[in-house]
Structure 1
Amino acid sequence: MSRPRAVNGIAKTCWRALLLDVNLYAEAFQGSTLHRAAQTAVIIAACSHAIGSSMILLTYNTSVVLQILAFLANIAVVVVGYYSWTFAIWKIGAWLRGSMPPYKRLLVPIGLAYTPQILNVFTVVPLLGRPIEIGLALWSLFAAIVALHNGLNLKLSKAIAICTLGWVIVQVTIGMIQIGIQRILE
């Protein structure tokens, strides 16, 4: 596939993920043709979060070294959050459901569920940054619920329980890490 076609394909896939396309999330469990789109969504989401956070740090006149460290830490937080949430969903799903597909098979649908996080750069908007961040995180939660409900044919209540419990654990952990980073930068 040529590069422009590949980029166009990834963009279309991400758009479908943003719209919570049921068929896309069902496809995500079938094969790995969406693997690149899921990886791209997570990487762009991580960079978007890092850019938004860095723009806020610029107002505090932090040193270039701290800016770079914070940028890299913010990328790492999103990527680690993605793998952690996928792991939590896998473990909680096995506990509540009794069986789950292998961890690797969950990476694509949960990666696609991270697509709303691409808009995290808008968290820089004064007074609206935190509500935007929470809204995007909830959008990702809804996407993961759609993915599990449709891709694994789970009852909606089980999909909600599995995804939400994992989401809460990861959100609290990420929040504590972000508070730690902020304290270091103060």
Structure 2
Amino acid sequence: MRAQNKKSNQGFWKTLKYALLLNSSLYENAHNTPKTRQLALSIVIFSALSHALGSSVILIINLVPLALALALLLLDLLSIIAGYYFWVFTIWKIGQWLKPIDPTFGDLLNPIGFAYAPQVLNFLTLIPLLGRPIELILAVWSLLAVIIAVRQGLDISTNQAALICLVGWPLIQIAIGVLQVTEQHIIRFL
């Protein structure tokens, strides 16, 4: 049992490394199996936890009551995960329109989940004055990873993949921004 757990951890870190390096073969070979689905979802959840960690420091600095802080952190976590599923859905729908007989929604969950790897570094937004620029760099890095994942997953050109990905990406960025502004307003009224 312990050897399998160690092997699984090595698989996670190796997958994370390849995803961060934008290795296109990772996305092309992201077959829809329980193991790869678990790896992809682990990366998305790890990304959500990293984002929540960055937010938690802001909540602590502002002395937000524990119950409210936990509610806001849960909202933060759920927004990242919901954003992932929303982005996969928009890519899948536009991809169906472009290539009606290709991947299912489930087939796209893995490569796009791997493309969330740069978001694992979201805890770096804790750095004073650099938080927002780091967040934007990570968002663009994830966008590039998703473009590669979609290009490989749908077997289309890079330009087509970029167009497909750019439909959902601004919506997700706007939603995250609105959530952050809402959290700031809630904190101010305490």
Tell me what 2:103 maps to.
101
Q: Structure 2: any 5+ residue segments left out of the alignment?
A: none
1:100 Cα deviation from its structure 2 partner: 4.3
Count of aligned residue pairs for this structure pair: 185
Alignment of 1:44-63 (within 5 A): 44-63=46-65
Tell me what 2:43 maps to.
41
Work out whether 1:129 is the aligned partner of 2:131.
yes
Tell me what 2:113 maps to.
111
Deviation readout 1:59-106 (Å, 9 max, x if unpaired) = 111111122112111111111111111111112222344454111111
Q: Tell me, yes or no, if the aligned pair for 2:108 and 2:153 is still in contact at 8 Å.
A: no
1:151 Cα deviation from its structure 2 partner: 2.7
| CA RMSD of superposed structures (Å) | 1.5
Alignment of 1:1-186 (within 5 A): 2-28=4-30, 30-32=31-33, 33-186=35-188
TM-score (norm 1): 0.93
Aligned-partner SS, 1:34: helix
State the AA in 1 paired with 2:74.
L
The share of aligned pairs that are identical, in percent, is: 42
TM-score (norm 2): 0.91
Cα distance in 1 for partners of 2:168, 2:152 equals 18
Q: Structure 1: any 5+ residue segments left out of the alignment?
A: none
State the AA in 2 paired with 1:113.
A
Q: Tell me, yes or no, if the aligned pair for 1:93 and 1:99 is still in contact at 8 Å.
A: no
1:150 Cα deviation from its structure 2 partner: 2.1
State the AA in 1 paired with 2:84.
Y
State the AA in 1 paired with 2:185.
R
Q: Tell me, yes or no, if the aligned pair for 1:90 and 1:100 is still in contact at 8 Å.
A: no
Q: Tell me, yes or no, if the aligned pair for 1:66 and 1:185 is still in contact at 8 Å.
A: no
Q: From the superposition, tell whether residues 96 and 171 of structure 1 become closer, same or farther in structure 2 (CA, over 3 Å).
A: farther
Cα distance in 2 for partners of 1:31, 1:108 equals 7
